[in-house]
């Protein structure tokens, strides 16, 4: 999310856990490229046998591609920048994340008040 807010294209290299989800997110939004395997069935320590290791040449090529120019890279950068604007707008006062967090705090405060009044009635 930090890269999204910063508006920078990403190179993803998922290894385990939610990283595969994040890699898929980046791929679907077309705000970066993936160099790692999207195979979630890899066993820790057996990546080399599975052919899932990423060599330095592949990393260098991905970074060079995103740092270079061209139409595809320009589109990736523009989408990353636009998504950054949307993310920043969501947390500003009146934005969707701001409003939803405010509602959560209000609900929790109300829940506490109700709970405290129920305790007082006993």
DSSP 8-state class, residue 83: H
Give the Cα separation of 86 and 109 in Å (integer). Answer: 29
Q: Where are the domains of the chain?
A: 2-91, 93-122
Q: Render pLDDT for 58-114 as a digit per residue (tens, 0 to 9).
A: 889 999 998 888 899 999 999 999 999 999 999 999 999 999 999 999 999 998 878
Strand, coil or helix: 11: strand
pTM of this prediction? Answer: 0.69
């Amino acid at each position: 999310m930090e890269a999204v807010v910063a508006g920078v294209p990403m190179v993803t290299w998922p290894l385990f856990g939610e990283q595969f989800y994040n890699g898929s997110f980046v791929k679907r939004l077309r705000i970066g490229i993936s160099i790692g395997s999207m195979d979630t069935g890899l066993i820790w320590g057996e990546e080399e046998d599975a052919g899932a290791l990423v060599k330095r040449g592949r990393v260098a090529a991905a970074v060079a591609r995103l740092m270079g120019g061209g139409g595809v890279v320009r589109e990736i950068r523009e989408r990353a920048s636009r998504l950054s604007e949307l993310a920043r707008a969501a947390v500003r006062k009146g934005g969707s994340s701001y409003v939803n967090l405010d509602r959560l705090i209000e609900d929790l405060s109300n829940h506490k008040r109700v709970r405290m009044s129920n305790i007082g009635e006993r």
